[in-house]
């Protein structure tokens, strides 16, 4: 087994195994005990499952990466130097994507009813979502995208990670206590693919895992503010997410082409 295949296999086994095992235990405890939802066992299991991609990344970097790879990984994790354009994309694209989705869902007019207190608390919400959500990108982007990028095209990476990301959340759709239980899974899967393509683009252009963490956290934070994509059966939403994904696939294809055929390289494509 090659090093690349081994790393992908270990990451996926660790990530999916922790998530499905921990949430299987949650379902078991809900059925067989009178423990209160929100008590220590449930919170602990949710942290274990929700943090699985990050835990997998930390384990792999510690045990499977050599000294140089570790240094590069952590440099990318803390890399904040990026063109201002990509900072704008990172911080504001979740708001714009969610705004358009809600305008489509509500037929062109929508009042999100955002309270002043929510706006004041938004920075704290964003920090919270960095820990509970954003840190997943230590694995999805820091490990999986990085490993795949040496052999797989960027559009395929974006779609594949988006599918895996959505399927990884599968247990949440089976437990009534989670909000996902009431989501439409097909719409949710389209949203993870679209956001994954965007994350793939940002990470490729900036080489920064930090920006991926912040973008992911922004998705969740703006969602809490009322700007999340409605997870309902809605034709307009599905078309919007498909078109958004198509645009991002074309952008990634263009970037990928330039990666292999630099404009100043004098490569003939006749």
pLDDT tens digits, one per residue of 44-95: 999 999 999 999 999 999 999 999 999 999 999 999 999 999 999 999 999 9
Confirm if 191 and 229 have CB atoms less than 8 A apart: yes
Structure confidence by residue, pLDDT tens digits, 222-247 = 999 999 999 999 999 999 999 999 99
Q: Give this prediction's pTM.
A: 0.93
- pLDDT tens-digit readout, 142-192: 999 999 998 899 999 999 999 999 999 999 999 999 999 999 999 999 999
The token pair that represents 29 in the structure block? 């405890």
The yes-or-no verdict on residue 113 having pLDDT over 90 is no
**Stretch among 42-51, 112-121, 138-147 having the lowest mean pLDDT:** 112-121
The reported pLDDT for the residue numbered 263 is: 45
Helices (H) and strands (E) in the chain, counts: 13, 0
Condensed to tens digits (0 to 9), the pLDDT of residues 179-216 reads 999 999 999 999 999 999 999 999 999 999 999 999 99
Per-residue CA distances from 51 to 126, 184, 237, 243 (Å): 17, 23, 29, 31
- pLDDT for res 149: 92
Supply the pLDDT for residue 150.
Answer: 85
């Amino acid at each position: 087994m090659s090093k690349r295949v081994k790393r992908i296999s270990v990451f996926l086994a660790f990530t999916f195994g922790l998530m499905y095992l921990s949430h299987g235990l949650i379902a078991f405890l809900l059925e067989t005990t009178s423990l209160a939802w929100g008590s220590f066992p449930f919170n602990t299991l949710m942290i274990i499952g929700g943090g699985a991609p990050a835990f997998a990344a930390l384990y792999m970097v510690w045990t499977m990466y050599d000294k140089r790879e570790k240094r590069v990984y952590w440099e990318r994790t803390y890399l904040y130097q990026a063109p201002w354009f990509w900072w704008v994309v990172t911080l504001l694209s979740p708001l714009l994507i969610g705004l358009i989705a809600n305008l489509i869902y509500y037929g062109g007019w929508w009042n999100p009813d955002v309270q002043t207190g929510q706006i004041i608390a938004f920075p704290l919400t964003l920090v919270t979502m960095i820990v509970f959500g954003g840190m997943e990108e230590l694995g999805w982007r820091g490990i999986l995208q990085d490993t795949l990028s040496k052999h797989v095209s960027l559009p395929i990476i974006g779609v594949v990670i988006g599918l895996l990301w959505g399927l990884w959340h599968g247990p949440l759709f089976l437990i009534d206590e989670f909000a996902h239980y009431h989501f439409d899974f097909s719409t949710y899967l389209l949203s993870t693919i679209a956001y994954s393509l965007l994350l793939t683009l940002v990470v490729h252009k900036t080489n920064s895992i930090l920006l991926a963490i912040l973008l992911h956290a922004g998705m969740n934070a703006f969602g809490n503010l009322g700007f999340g994509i409605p997870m309902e059966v809605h034709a307009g939403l599905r078309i919007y997410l498909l078109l958004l994904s198509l645009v991002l696939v074309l952008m990634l294809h263009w970037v990928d082409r330039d990666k292999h055929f630099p404009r100043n390289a004098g490569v003939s494509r006749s």
